[in-house]
Amino acid sequence: MQASEQEALSHFYDLTVAYVFGLAMRIVSNQALAEEVVNDVYLQAWRNRASYQATQATPLAWLMMMAHSRAIDTLRRETTATKQQLPMAEDFDAVDEQCLSPLEQLSRSEHHERLKAALQLLDTQQRHWINLAFYRGMSHQEIADYTGEPLGTVKTVLRCAQAVLRTALTTVYPTGGIYE
């Protein structure tokens, strides 16, 4: 892609679109919006291909961070536009039987077990707060308000959880493929 080969973008798209769509769908919970996010992400990846740094992230991680950011932006834009934000249900993290979660989609990958193992390194509170931040797009302050914990505690717990995940995932992935 960095050599402006559109065929490379097509191949990259084929390898990763299920992950991007799954993440977008999990965040925005609307197929049309998720499709819009997917289109925006691949357009952004193509436009910013020269800025990709292999030392900073794997291609899939780079793409998923763009997808996460775009999906959160889309969700916030839609919430602001409609002013119809629904209260978060007590069982917000219950498995949706109709939609594959990003984790279920990753299970198709040989790296599923490594990701699962990395998440198991976190305690229940860290996993829950990572879910609130990543899948619900909640800010640190929103998590503090939702959980009743002090803002400093939320920041510290999330920073530690991210460090654990970053260390676990960057030290276990072999080189090669889309994770290089």
Q: What is the DSSP letter of 84?
A: -
Among 25, 60, 86, which residue terminates a domain? 86
Among 35, 54, 86, which residue terminates a domain? 86
Residue 29 lies in a domain: yes
Report pLDDT digits (tens) over 11-20. 989 999 999 9
Report pLDDT digits (tens) over 35-69. 999 999 999 999 988 888 888 888 889 999 999 99
| In a shared domain, residues 79 and 109 | no
Report pLDDT digits (tens) over 79-107. 665 555 555 566 555 555 666 566 555 54
| In a shared domain, residues 82 and 107 | no
Q: How far apart are the first and last CA of the chain?
A: 14
| In a shared domain, residues 112 and 146 | yes
Task: Look at phi and psi of residue 137 and say left if phi exceeds 0, alpha if psi is from -120 to 50, else beta.
Answer: left
Residue 91 lies in a domain: no
Q: Kindly state the average pLDDT of the residues 1-29.
A: 89
Q: Could you list the residue range(s) of the whole structural domain that residue 161 is in?
A: 103-180
Residue 113 Cα to chain centre, angstroms: 17
User: Could you give the CA distance from residue 160 to residue 162 in angstroms, rounded to a whole number?
Assistant: 5
Q: How far is CA 1 from CA 21, 62, 70, 99, 154, in A?
A: 20, 13, 21, 31, 39
Task: Look at phi and psi of residue 86 and say left if phi exceeds 0, alpha if psi is from -120 to 50, else beta.
Answer: beta
